[in-house]
């Protein structure tokens, strides 16, 4: 009788805790209006696509457990993959810094914003959290319509024109023409600690980021906590987020935040630098003739091709505690990732302006992904529609070769198609992503939709399946959703396929995505409703 009463009391307490959790969760209802708006940068005004007239777009701030209902109304002249439709989702067991963006061609050049997920009320951070957050959104700016830049590249088959500026929270900063007065300034009190939530929302460029004379303590990447470590510079690829703590412990003054390219490829890039200013509230001013603010101190940034610094930063990342990384592997996949060239029957054609009269391409395992035109892969798969895609994506390269050596030109042309790879529900998956030297070695920031994964190993040269796994970190590998392949090297990731559906894996350099550096995983349903894809909502628009 006594044990029965004790069980009933515990059950009652658990029930109260559950209802308290439900009571603390909120529903956030927002409206996003996609619309053109005049935006002036670099002395010129362009009709840019914005959300609610803002560039960057609105910041979404929620807590773990909250739900969002976002109605998107498209008043732009482009299909933006979101069109008069309400998106509903719940944040489940996730916290940290993410971001939202358009996923249709190059519209995300201006259609993006921060998604900040705080812990549930009463749940602590695994580090001393400052009282103030500062979102830092790094972006790229073209002095023309980005869609026209893309359209020209698609016609000619050549590489797209690089950006004309980088931006911090939408502004280029002091070093660009007609930009000084709009440079973003962040006031700070002496001794104050802040958290910078750094997001690389750029289309095509990995970036180094630093704050002059201030150390940065890394505490999170891609909405996953890390073991804290201190650095003077971070490297952040498109699609990635990095949270750092900063303490105002220097002489009162003005200090530049700055970002510029990390370019690992033998290819043109935007070699400019964007800045914002960290401004102590008691910063001194000049006295006497020509009085005014003292010029900000500039940080020491690595050279654009400093792969050693980029690699050293990435290698320091560790999960904040023992990671639940899969120790056994059910699906062992080996994916080559890289560029290619499509040969033209008429090399002198205006549509063949790539190297030596070719068109640029990109691929995974020599398969260059083609987006379906008639229907989505998700809808086609679950409704049994034939002819949209095939499920014969190769688990290994169709031809083995010296991936990082002198590759025969006969292997430079990929095969175009729309192929997917099936995964059983709850399969433990390992993928080795191997860069190639075809066209050029390069750091490709690879992003997997629908999942976080653990980065268990990386190295330069060709992956050795006999010796390299012995060096894998299976204790505290960093958790991410986007990871770069070392240029001329490889990276290994693991995850559990416990989220059924059709999930895109692609390079987050948008030029490469358009050339075909992508594939799709089809994760099968498990047992019962909780392990299966939900039925489409009743208000799902018909194609």
Cα separation, 105 vs 450, whole angstroms: 20
Cα separation, 217 vs 230, whole angstroms: 4
Higher-confidence residue of 311 and 21: namely 311
Chain centroid to CA 396: how far? 25
Length of the chain equals: 543
Cα separation, 420 vs 8, whole angstroms: 50
- pLDDT on residue 314: 98
- pLDDT on residue 85: 81
- pLDDT on residue 81: 67
- pLDDT on residue 23: 52
Mean pLDDT of 392-398: 98
Mean pLDDT of 47-68: 97
pLDDT digits (tens, 9 = 90+) for 217-257: 999 999 999 999 999 999 999 999 999 999 999 999 999 99
Q: Cis bond leading into 507, ω under 30°?
A: no
Q: Give the residues across from 337 on adjacent strands.
A: 364, 435
Q: What is the DSSP string of 75-117?
A: -SSS--S--SEEEEEE--S--EEEEEE--STTGGGTSEEEEEE
122 φ/ψ angles, rounded to the nearest 5 degrees: 90, -10
pLDDT digits (tens, 9 = 90+) for 357-373: 999 999 999 999 999 98
Cα separation, 523 vs 76, whole angstroms: 34
Q: Could you tell me what percent of the chain has a pLDDT over 90?
A: 88
Q: Quick count: other Cβ atoms within 10 Å of Cβ 436? A: 28
Residues of 97-124 as b/e, b for ≥16 C-beta within 10 angstroms?
Answer: bbbbbbbebbbbbbbbbbbbbbeeeeee
Cα separation, 33 vs 76, whole angstroms: 9
- pLDDT on residue 289: 55
Instruction: Assign 155 to helix, strand or coil.
Output: helix
pLDDT digits (tens, 9 = 90+) for 304-314: 999 999 999 99
CA neighbor of 430 nearest in space, from 369, 489, 497, 500: 497
Cα separation, 50 vs 134, whole angstroms: 21
- pLDDT on residue 103: 87
DSSP state of 470: G
Q: Are strands 27-41 and 67-74 parallel, antiparallel or unpaired?
A: parallel
**35 in Cβ contact with 44 (< 8 Å):** no
Cα separation, 489 vs 442, whole angstroms: 9
Q: Given a cut of 90, is residue 11 above it in pLDDT?
A: no
pLDDT range class, residue 193, cuts 50, 70, 90: very high
Q: Which of the residue ranges 132-141, 413-422, 462-471, 525-534 would you say has the lowest mean pLDDT?
A: 525-534
Residue keyed to tokens 């590249």:
153
Q: Give the residues across from 278 on adjacent strands.
A: 186, 255
CA neighbor of 400 nearest in space, from 392, 391, 408, 388: 408
Cα separation, 208 vs 304, whole angstroms: 8
pLDDT digits (tens, 9 = 90+) for 443-457: 999 999 999 999 999
- CB-facing half-sphere around the CA of 83: CA atoms within 13 A: 11
DSSP state of 265: S
Query: Left, alpha or beta for 316 (phi > 0: left; psi -120 to 50: alpha)?
Result: alpha
Q: Given a cut of 50, is residue 41 above it in pLDDT?
A: yes
Mean pLDDT of 175-196: 98
- pLDDT on residue 288: 55
Matching fold, domains 27-316 and 331-531: yes
Mean pLDDT of 141-147: 97
Cα separation, 195 vs 131, whole angstroms: 8
**442 in Cβ contact with 487 (< 8 Å):** yes
Cα separation, 223 vs 421, whole angstroms: 27
Q: Given a cut of 50, is residue 530 above it in pLDDT?
A: yes
Query: What residues contact 467, with CB distance under 8 A and at least 6 apart?
Result: none
Fold of 27-316: Immunoglobulin-like (2.60.40)
Superfamily for domain range 331-531: Cupredoxins -  blue copper proteins (2.60.40.420)
Mean pLDDT of 352-360: 97
| Distance in Å from the first CA to the final CA of the chain | 62
Q: Given a cut of 70, is residue 19 above it in pLDDT?
A: no
- CB-facing half-sphere around the CA of 306: CA atoms within 13 A: 17
Query: What residues contact 384, with CB distance under 8 A and at least 6 apart?
Result: none
Instruction: Assign 511 to helix, strand or coil.
Output: helix
Query: What residues contact 370, with CB distance under 8 A and at least 6 apart?
Result: 416, 417, 418, 516
- pLDDT on residue 542: 67
- pLDDT on residue 155: 98
E-only strand ranges, 160-223:
165-168, 185-188, 193-200, 206-211, 216-221
Cα separation, 178 vs 180, whole angstroms: 6
Q: Given a cut of 70, is residue 317 above it in pLDDT?
A: yes
**217 in Cβ contact with 230 (< 8 Å):** yes
Q: Could you tell me what percent of the chain has a pLDDT over 70?
A: 93
Q: What is the pTM of this model?
A: 0.94
- pLDDT on residue 89: 87
- Per the prediction, the chain carries an average pLDDT of 93
Q: Given a cut of 70, is residue 489 above it in pLDDT?
A: yes
- pLDDT on residue 8: 45
- pLDDT on residue 7: 41
Q: Given a cut of 60, is residue 484 above it in pLDDT?
A: yes
**129 in Cβ contact with 219 (< 8 Å):** no
What residue segments make up the domains of the chain, in order of their start? 27-316, 331-531
Q: Given a cut of 50, is residue 70 above it in pLDDT?
A: yes
Q: Given a cut of 60, is residue 490 above it in pLDDT?
A: yes
Mean pLDDT of 266-272: 97
Q: Given a cut of 50, is residue 9 above it in pLDDT?
A: no
């Amino acid at each position: 009788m006594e044990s029965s009463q004790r069980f009933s009391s515990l059950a009652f307490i658990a029930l109260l805790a559950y209802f308290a959790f439900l009571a603390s969760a909120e529903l956030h209802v927002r409206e996003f209006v996609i619309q053109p708006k005049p935006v002036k940068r670099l002395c010129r005004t362009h009709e840019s696509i914005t959300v609610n007239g803002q560039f960057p777009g609105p910041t979404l701030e929620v807590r773990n457990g909250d739900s969002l209902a976002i109605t998107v109304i498209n008043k732009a002249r482009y299909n933006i993959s979101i069109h008069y439709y309400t998106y509903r989702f719940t944040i489940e067991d996730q916290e940290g810094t993410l971001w939202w963006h358009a996923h249709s061609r190059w519209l995300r050049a201006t259609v993006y914003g921060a998604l900040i997920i705080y812990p549930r009320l009463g749940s602590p951070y695994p580090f001393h959290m400052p009282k103030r957050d500062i979102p830092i959104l790094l972006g790229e700016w073209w002095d023309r319509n980005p869609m026209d830049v893309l359209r020209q590249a698609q016609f000619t088959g050549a590489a797209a024109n690089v950006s004309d500026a980088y931006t911090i929270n939408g502004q280029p900063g002091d070093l660009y023409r007609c930009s000084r007065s709009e440079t973003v300034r962040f006031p700070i009190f002496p001794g104050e600690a802040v958290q910078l939530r750094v997001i690389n929302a750029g289309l095509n460029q990995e970036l180094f980021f630093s704050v002059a004379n201030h150390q940065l303590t890394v505490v999170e990447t891609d909405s996953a906590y890390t073991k804290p470590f201190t650095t003077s510079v971070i490297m952040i690829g498109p699609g990635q987020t990095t949270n750092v703590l900063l303490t105002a412990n220097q002489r009162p003054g003005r200090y530049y935040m700055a970002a510029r390219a990390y370019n690992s490829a033998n290819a043109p890039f935007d070699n400019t630098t964007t800045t914002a200013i960290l401004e102590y509230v008691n910063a001194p001013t000049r006295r006497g003739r020509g009085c005014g603010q003292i010029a900000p101190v500039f940080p020491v940034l690595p050279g654009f091709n400093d792969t050693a610094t980029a690699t050293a930063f990435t290698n320091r990342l560790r999960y904040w505690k023992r990671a639940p990384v899969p120790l056994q592997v059910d699906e062992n996949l080996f994916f080559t990732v890289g560029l290619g060239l499509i040969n033209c029957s008429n090399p002198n054609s205006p549509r063949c302006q790539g190297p030596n009269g070719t068109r640029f391409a990109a691929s995974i395992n020599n398969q260059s992904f083609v987006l379906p035109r008639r229907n989505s892969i998700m809808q086609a798969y679950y409704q049994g529609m034939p002819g949209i895609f095939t499920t014969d994506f190769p688990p290994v390269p169709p031809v083995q070769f010296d991936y990082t050596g002198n590759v025969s030109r006969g292997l430079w042309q990929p095969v175009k198609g729309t192929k997917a790879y099936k995964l059983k529900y709850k399969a433990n998956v390992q993928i080795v992503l191997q860069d190639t030297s075809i066209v050029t070695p390069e750091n490709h920031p690879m992003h997997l939709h629908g999942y976080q994964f653990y980065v268990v190993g990386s190295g330069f040269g060709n992956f050795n399946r006999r010796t390299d796994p012995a060096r894998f970190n299976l204790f505290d590998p960093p958790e991410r959703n986007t990871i770069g392949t070392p240029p001329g090297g490889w990276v290994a990731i693991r995850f559990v396929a416990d989220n059924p559906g059709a999930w895109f894996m692609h390079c987050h350099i948008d030029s490469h995505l358009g050339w075909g550096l992508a594939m799709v995983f089809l994760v099968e349903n498990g047992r019962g409703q909780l392990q299966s894809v939900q039925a489409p909502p009743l208000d799902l628009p018909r194609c």
